[in-house]
Amino acid sequence: MRVLVIEHESDSGIGLLGERAVATGAELEVVTPMGGIPVSAEGYDAVVTMGASPSVNDADIAPWFDRETALLRDADRRGIPVLGVCFGAQALAVALGGSVSRAVQPEVGWKMVDTEAPGVIAEGPWFQWHVDAITPPPQATVLATSDVSVQAYTVGPHLAVQFHPEVTAQQARDWSTGDPAGLAASGCTLQELVALTTDLEPDARRRAADLWDTFVIGATERGRGIAVL
Q: List the CATH code of the domain at 2-168+201-221.
A: 3.40.50.880
- Asked if 174 and 11 touch (Cβ cutoff 8 Å), the reply is yes
Helix or strand (DSSP H, E) at 83: strand 82-85
Distance CA 217, CA 60 (A): 37
3 state SS of 125: coil
Give pLDDT, residue 219. 61
pLDDT at 186: 92
Is 130 part of the annotated catalytic residue set? no
The model's pLDDT over 62-79, given as tens digits with 9 standing for 90+, comes to 999 999 999 999 999 999
Mean pLDDT of 189-205: 96
Q: What is the mean pLDDT of the chain?
A: 93
Angle between helices 169-178 and 190-216 (to 10 degrees): 120
Which sign does the torsion angle of CA 105, 106, 112, 113 carry?
positive
139: exposed, middle or buried (Cβ count in 10 Å: 0-12, 13-18, 19+):
exposed
pLDDT tens sequence across 68-127: 999 999 999 999 999 999 999 999 999 999 999 999 999 999 999 999 999 899 988 999
Give pLDDT, residue 218. Answer: 65
Q: Active-site residue 8, yes or no?
A: no
Has residue 229 got a pLDDT over 80? no
Nearest to 171 by CA among 92, 86, 112, 100: 86
Instruction: Find the catalytic residue in 8, 130, 158, 164.
Output: 164
Rounded Cα–Cα distance for residues 82 and 100 (Å): 18
Longest dimension (CA), the chain: 45
- Rounded to the nearest 10°, the torsion over CA 108, 229, 135, 18 is 50
Q: Which residues pair with 100 in a beta bridge?
A: 134
Residues 79, 220: Cα–Cα separation, whole Å: 10
How far apart CA 42 and CA 40 sit, in angstroms, is 5
pLDDT at 67: 97
Q: Which of 86, 107, 130, 188 is catalytic?
A: 86
Task: Evaluate whether 212 touches 21 at the Cβ level (below 8 Å).
Answer: yes
Q: What is the per-residue pLDDT across 132-170, written as a single tens digit (0 to 9) for each?
A: 999 999 999 999 999 999 999 999 999 999 999 999 999
Alpha carbon distance 82, 219 (integer Å): 9
**Per-residue pLDDT tens for 16-37?**
999 999 999 999 999 999 999 9
pLDDT at residue 187 tops 50 = yes
Catalytic residue at 86? yes
- 3-state SS, residue 126: strand
List 9, 68, 107, 166, catalytic entry: 166
The confidence band for 226, taking pLDDT boundaries of 50, 70 and 90, is: very low
At residue 124, the pLDDT reads: 85
Using alpha carbons, select from 206, 88, 205 the residue that is nearest to residue 153. Answer: 88
Q: What's the one-letter identity of residue 59?
A: A
CA dihedral (14, 2, 157, 162) in degrees, to 10, reads 10
- In this structure, are residues 159 and 114 in contact, taking their beta carbons and an 8 Å threshold? no
pTM attached to this predicted model: 0.94
* Residue-wise pLDDT tens digits, 36-58: 999 999 999 999 999 999 999 99
- Quote the pLDDT of residue 217: 79
- Write down the pLDDT at residue 221: 53
